Amino acid sequence: MTPRQVHSPISLRARALACGRGDTLLIEGLDLDVEPGAGLLLRGPNGAGKSTLLLSLAGLLPPLGGEVSLFGHDPEDGPALHYCGHRNAVRPRLGVRQTLAFWRDINGPTGLSVDAALERVGLLPIAGLDAGYLSAGQQRRLALARLLVSRRPLWLLDEPTAALDTDGHRLVASLLAQHLEQGGLAVIATHDEIELPALRTLALAARA
């Protein structure tokens, strides 16, 4: 159905990366490589720095040392990554379809249509509802739909399965599988099991 290799093959590389919050160093000397079609699961206890690492990879938090680079990415193509954090960026008083159409306009209509993306995450029947009425799990599904309307090769997901039901867990796994199959790459921080052959695991130790 979907063509393979729809993403330009880029790879993510971090060398001697150190990141933390304020003066608190959480991770140091981290080297990581993620190739097209591969995913990296970040595991570790609460406070180990999974979210901080994702923010640093996304460029939202300046790293305390080392560097993060994206190989094969043409800056002309616009931003290469989607970040999906704890907060869903869903605002009451905007409709579900409106919210998604907004993100499509902001990030460019390079992926699925709004309705197709809503169908994929199972929100199409309530597309007209005010997004403020959604449950936590439905808001998370709406946030995931944002990744589908604009195509970007790198996904950085922070606990994507939080608040989702078992059906939602399967949805995340199938979205990831499809994304990786198309040549995308992903870094996922999670405590849940996501069973995919293309996923490697990186365990982060707790800091004393």
Which residues contribute to the site for other proteins (CB under 8 A)? 55, 58-61, 78-79, 81-83, 85-91, 93-94, 98, 101-103, 105-108, 150
Name 24's Cβ contacts closer than 8 Å, sequence gap at least 6. Answer: none
> Residue 131 carries which DSSP code?
G
Q: Which is nearer to other proteins, 62 or 197 (CB)?
A: 62
At 101, which amino acid appears?
Answer: A
Q: Which is nearer to other proteins, 114 or 173 (CB)?
A: 114
Q: Which is nearer to other proteins, 88 or 161 (CB)?
A: 88
Q: Which is nearer to other proteins, 78 or 125 (CB)?
A: 78
Rounded CA separation 85/89 (Å): 9
Query: Shortest distance, CB of residue 80 to other proteins, whole angstroms?
Result: 9
Query: Shortest distance, CB of residue 144 to other proteins, whole angstroms?
Result: 13
Query: Shortest distance, CB of residue 83 to other proteins, whole angstroms?
Result: 6
Q: Which residue has the tokens 């393979």?
A: 4
Name 71's Cβ contacts closer than 8 Å, sequence gap at least 6. Answer: 10, 11, 12, 13
Q: Which is nearer to other proteins, 57 or 176 (CB)?
A: 57
Rounded CA separation 208/206 (Å): 6
Q: Which is nearer to other proteins, 60 or 206 (CB)?
A: 60
Query: Shortest distance, CB of residue 55 to other proteins, whole angstroms?
Result: 5
For residue 41, the SS3 value is: strand
Find the Cα–Cα–Cα–Cα dihedral 104, 180, 62, 204, rounded to 10°.
140
Query: Shortest distance, CB of residue 195 to other proteins, whole angstroms?
Result: 28
Q: Are 163 and 137 in contact (CB under 8 A)?
A: yes
Query: Shortest distance, CB of residue 62 to other proteins, whole angstroms?
Result: 8
Tokens of 26: 């959480």
